[in-house]
Amino acid sequence: MAVEDERIPTRDTCDLSDPEEMFLWCFVGMAHVVGAMLAFPLKWWRKVSAHLVKCGAMLKCPQCGYEKPPEVRFQLPVGDAMLGAAGRWLPADEPDAPADPLGAELAKVAPDVLRETVRRVQAEHPEWFDEEGQ
C-alpha cells in the first residue's frame, strides 16, 4: 500500500494499480464536508474505491492505454494536513502554493516597511530578543 492510514491520500501518493487506492484520492476534501478531509475513515473509502473498480470504473483503458488527464487536483495545506479540511481542489495545471507562504507575502513588502515593522516589534516586545536584538 502506498498510502498509510494516517496520511491524507493524493493522486501522487496512491498506488493507482491497487483497486483500494485507485480512486481513494478522489474522496478527499469533497464538497459539503465541513471540518474534515474525509467524511468517513480511510478504511471505508478503500472499500469504495475497490468497489468502483469492480463496477468497471477505470483511470486507464486496458485496450489502448488512454488515460484522461485529471482536470483538478487536491492541494494539501502547507504544514499539518490533519488540521481539518484546509486543503482545496484546484485546476490541475495551477502551480503549487509556495512552501513558505509568509515568505512569499513578505517578499511583496517594501524594505522600509519591513525595517519599521522589525523596529516596532523589537520596541514593543523586547523579551522576544536577546541583548543584541536577535
Q: Consecutive 10-residue runs of the chain (134 residues): their mean pLDDT?
A: 69 94 93 80 95 96 94 77 66 82 83 90 88 63
Instruction: List Cβ<8 Å contacts ≥24 apart for 44-47.
Output: 46/20, 46/21, 47/20
Shared-domain flag, residues 107 and 65: no
Residue 4 located in a structural domain: no
pTM score over 0.75: no
Residue 6 located in a structural domain: no
Shared-domain flag, residues 33 and 54: yes
Residue 9 located in a structural domain: no
> What confidence score (pLDDT) does residue 89 get?
87
> What confidence score (pLDDT) does residue 18 get?
96
Rounded CA separation 38/21 (Å): 14
Structural domain including 120 reads 98-134
Residue 129 located in a structural domain: yes
> What confidence score (pLDDT) does residue 129 get?
84
Which amino acid would we find at residue 8?
I
- Other C-beta atoms lying within 10 Å of the C-beta of residue 38: 17
Sequence-separated (6 or more) residues with CB below 8 Å from residue 51: none
26-45 pLDDT tens trace:
999 888 877 778 889 999 99
Q: Burial level of 49, CB count in 10 A (0-12/13-18/19+)? A: buried
Shared-domain flag, residues 23 and 74: yes
